[in-house]
Amino acid sequence: MTLIVVIGVMTGFKEDLTGKILGYYSHIVVLKQNEGLDDYERIMRKIEKVKGVKSATPFTYTQAMLSSKSGSLGVVLRGVDPKTIGKVIN
């Protein structure tokens, strides 16, 4: 009985953790090293035609520095397309 409960809890934990990770990060990310993708719409359409792919959305990210009177902090900013993000988030 104890083993069944432990396996059930661990399975639930794994599913919850996977959901949280994939809620922020994609299964697949296509990017060009040190540059943006000028033809991202064409690439996105091609990816959406792949069997098993439900949807795709473009995003951008960059590093930034936030500062205030109490100090500074490095952050990563991530931007998404509001028109297509609803198709890919849970």
- pLDDT tens track for 24-54: 566 777 877 777 788 888 988 998 899 988 8
Q: What is the DSSP letter of 35?
A: B
Domain count, the chain: 1
Locate 86 and state its tokens. Answer: 């609803």
Q: Provide the pLDDT for residue 13.
A: 59
Q: Contact, 87 vs 77, CB < 8 A?
A: no
| 36 exposure class (CB count in 10 Å sphere: 0-12, 13-18, 19+) | exposed
Q: What residues make up the domain containing 42?
A: 2-87
Indicate the pLDDT class of residue 69, thresholds 50, 70 and 90. Answer: very high
Locate 27 and state its tokens. Answer: 């299964």
